[in-house]
Chains A and B, each alone.
Chain A
Amino acid sequence: MNLRWDEFIVTGDPLILGAQISIVLVSIALVFGLTYFKKWGWLWRDWITSVDHKKIGIMYIIAALLMLFRGGVDALLMRIQLAAPEMEFLSAQHYNEIFTTHGTIMIIFMAMPFLIGLMNVVVPLQIGARDVAFPFLNNLSFWTFFVGAMLFNISFVVGGSPSAGWTSYVPMAGNELSPGPGQNYYLLGLQISGIGTLLTGINFIVTILKMRTKGMTLFRMPMFTWTTLITSLIITFAFPVLTVSLALMTFDRLFGTHFFTLADGGMPMLWANLFWIWGHPEVYIVILPAFGIFSEIITTFARKTLFGYKAMVGSVVIISCLSFLVWVHHFYTMGSGAAVNSFFSITTMMISIPTGVKIFNWLFTMYKGRISFKQPMLWSIAFIPNFVIGGVTGVMLAMAAADYQYHNTYFLVSHFHYVLIAGTVFACFAGLVFWYPKMFGHKLNEKIGQWAFWLFMIGFNVCFFPQYFLGLDGMPRRTFSYLPEEGWFSLNFISTVGAFVMGLGFLIFVYNVYYSFRHSARETSGDCWGSGRTLEWATSSAIPPFYNFAVLPEVRTIDPYWHMKEDGQESQKEEDYKPIHMPSNTGLGFIMSVFLGISGFGLVFEWYWIGLVGVILTFACMIYRSFQQDDGYYVPVEKIKETERHASV
């Protein structure tokens, strides 16, 4: 690709210019700050090279929150453009770019990493393990995700963003209609971060199957661990499909193959099928862990065991199997024929049965419980009615015949935001607040947190409920402008107001992080909500030591920590301490990911030699790693004693 300099950097749009200036300023401030406070070594030693699952989890969550901010700004820009008829805030092309990056970032770089972050923090603790099965791989997973996300994110200032929607249907995403680097960013950014996701999946399967502490049988595992296990299985079988699909489209764009082209035998529908064979399971990758989080929180704050534990596990398994059998419901209208459509229509509706089972189980869990309405519980309770609205409209969409009416209208936009936000985003907030003291040693302020909750929750409904009616009025999705005669103004305006209320809620949430860091009381006990049931609350301190448990706990029941407390045996004796084996930190995962990122950047601009050099260097790192002899080290008993004493003051 021959680009002139002024095409390389995107110019000519005041919004983007503003973004460029702020990126430069923030970067300078960061470099300056780190140097001034002499924090480079700390950053490298304690975070970048860390193989501690809790730190990796925290890094995932921070990155996901940044992405939520970026995706949220995109959303607000779109809502401003749609607030009134014939707005001239964004151009059509810019609007297309923004909804594409918004959708992609929210799903791939926000929702999934947020949940993976929580899994990282919590799952090894819940199963009583010292770390995940492959700590180095875990570090590598994080950095490939991060580099992939950054590669995707720079597209709007360097070279131009993709604009074919997050589904990237061909021919829209082909060379003729999407020339230039934008679509390449999509392909390579997702590809690189996809590697990390796949590795995470494998890592957690092995961790959960092999690293459970004594007595933790499969049917004593907490729900969040269960959903993580199932999600990891879905990841392992769904992500290779994405890898291949992205690679095939990359080949089409860069090397002139004809998989999805209109000419020379290519088949655009093949993309739609491949994309959704991955894409629908992906939707469950972001919803099942959320279900797990709600289960943990509801049992903890209702002070009761989960109602119908086995039914909960069973329904997760059924949902995950069905999730591979419904993909066509995303394109009924593309002419698959009545029989095919009916089959997929029925499988889709079947998913609502196990989901319904779960909803009732949560309700029964709360029934007659002594519920305490703290922030995590508020998010979890709010999830139920909102998610049901999304689910019911989903069943309406699942009917192939009806879908001809609603498809590609705002009805659909509203439906998937109801499921994704009330399901996933509420769960992310709930889980973050819930486990926040575990991660940082203090709670988030309750009062500010409730403000954030109510604003976000109400704003969300004000924003998306009117969109069902806009959809029924025929407003198509992905429209950037409309005429006054169409009568869509008032509902759109309300919707935009709601979006800003949500944005305000998010800002208050962020403020709460700062406020609580300064003013919240530090936690001294591990069981900071007072009603913890699972093993993560049994670790000796508010910030668990890097080896998690001084002595690995033994489990005899479901909700082991609850029973330990009842039997009064939660404390560990110093005599039982033994040296602990831990893996050592390594910078290799970071370095490898940077090489991959360089390679991806080269390929985006079709500078093949950069692409090749990056790949070769990545492989060199792998070989180096294979030769490395590093068996970790032992933490001596003295050190454990000291850490534990220090932790429990």
Chain B
Amino acid sequence: MEYQSETGRLNILGFWIFIGAEFALFSTLFAAYFVLINRTAGYITPGELFDLKLVLIMTFLLLTSSFTCGMAVHEMRNHNVKRMMIWLAITLLLGLGFVGYEIYEFVHYASEGATLSTSAYWSAFFVLLGTHGLHVSIGIIWIIGIMIQIKKRGLTPKTSSKVFVSSLYWHFLDVVWIFIFTGVYLLGMVS
């Protein structure tokens, strides 16, 4: 369906390459994070702050949203626009929940004395997670835009390739989160 039109095909390949670039971007952020991982300069450490319950909720929200997003694409291929829209809406709500918890988390850490400028470690932490969170937020706005377009124009080869591309993006953010979950949170709590 999404591969029907020539532009659709080009866009999808282009988007895969873009994801390659995003991959390089997040790798660099991770590299910076791991280089600075012990550099708390005697200030508050991640072990003192991280809270497993909160992180598990966030992980649950984002992983589920990836699943519902997949359902949306599945329904799109069955030409069931209404169900697709519903799954997309659920995806967005889960995404919003995730962003909400992340904001709460950041505010909480700040109140405990861990901000961007506390130490190299926290700079790396906030920039890495902030970048991911920003990507999720942009994804939300983007998918809302696509939903409006589908409401107005229906499911065409063009709009369907947009749905597909945005779902790729959404899954990608999920994958990045899994790295964050293990590399940042689990490792931070162990040490």
Point out residues on A near B: beta carbons under 8 Å. 133-134, 198, 201-203, 205-206, 209-210, 236-241, 243-245, 247-248, 251-252, 255-259, 261, 263-267, 270, 274, 277, 619, 623, 626-627, 629
Contacts and interface: CB of A to CB of B under 8 A. Distances in A.
Interface string B152-191: 0100000000100000000000000000000000000000
Contact of B28 (A205, A241, A265): A241
B123 A206 contact: no
A255 B116 CA distance: 8
Contacts of B81: none
Contacts of A205: 17
B158 to A, nearest CB: 8
Contacts of A198: 21
Interface string B87-110: 000000000000000000000000
Contacts of B25: 240-241, 243-244
Interface string B110-137: 0000001111110110110000000000
B21 A203 contact: no
Contact of B124 (A206, A210, A259, A619): A259
A326 B17 CA distance: 24
A28 B150 CA distance: 48
Contacts of A265: 36, 39-41, 119-121
B13 A627 contact: no
In the A-B complex, the 3 residue pairs with the closest CB atoms: A265-B39, A265-B120, A257-B123
- The A contact surface, by secondary structure, is helix
A259 B10 contact: no
A255 B142 CA distance: 28
A257 B36 contact: no
Interface string B20-50: 1110110011011001100111010000000
B117 A240 contact: no
A267 B124 CA distance: 12
Interface of B: 9-10, 13-14, 17-18, 20-22, 24-25, 28-29, 31-32, 35-36, 39-41, 43, 116-121, 123-124, 126-127, 141-142, 145-146, 148-149, 153, 162
20 contacts: A133-B14, A134-B14, A202-B21, A203-B14, A238-B24, A240-B21, A240-B24, A243-B25, A244-B32, A257-B120, A258-B117, A259-B127, A264-B43, A265-B119, A266-B39, A267-B35, A267-B39, A274-B31, A626-B146, A626-B149
A245 B32 CA distance: 9
A534 B52 CA distance: 62
B32 A270 contact: yes
B13 A206 contact: yes
Contact of B14 (A206, A240, A244, A627): A206
A248 B124 CA distance: 9
B7 to A, nearest CB: 8
A259 B118 CA distance: 11
B21 to A, nearest CB: 5
Contacts of B20: 236-237
Contacts of A243: 25
A251 B24 contact: no
Contacts of A270: 32, 35-36
A202 B32 contact: no
B125 to A, nearest CB: 10
Nearest to A269: B35
Contacts of A134: 10, 14
Given A251-B116, A264-B118, A266-B120, 19 more contacts: A134-B14, A198-B21, A238-B24, A239-B21, A241-B28, A244-B32, A248-B32, A257-B120, A258-B119, A258-B123, A259-B32, A259-B127, A264-B41, A264-B117, A266-B36, A266-B123, A274-B31, A627-B148, A627-B149
Contacts of A240: 21-22, 24-25, 28
A255 B40 CA distance: 18
A208 to B, nearest CB: 11
Nearest to A211: B10
Contacts of A202: 14, 17-18, 21
B9 A256 contact: no
Given A134-B10, A241-B24, A244-B32, A258 B18 contact: no
A241 B30 CA distance: 11
A277 B25 CA distance: 12
A193 to B, nearest CB: 16
Contacts of B18: 202
A103 B142 CA distance: 39
Contacts of B141: 619, 623
A623 B142 CA distance: 8
Contact of B127 (A206, A248, A277, A629): A248
A627 to B, nearest CB: 6
B17 to A, nearest CB: 5
Nearest to A134: B14
Contacts of B32: 244, 248, 259, 270, 274
A627 B28 contact: no
Q: Which of A202, A252, A623 has the most CB of B within 10 A?
A: A202
Contacts of A237: 20-21, 24
B128 to A, nearest CB: 10
Contacts of B123: 251-252, 257-259, 266
Nearest to B144: A623
A236 B21 contact: yes
B4 to A, nearest CB: 14
Max count, chain A CB within 10 A of own CB: residue among B14, B22, B25:
B14
Contacts of B146: 626
B166 to A, nearest CB: 10
Contact of A264 (B14, B24, B119, B153): B119
Nearest to B11: A134
A241 B21 CA distance: 9
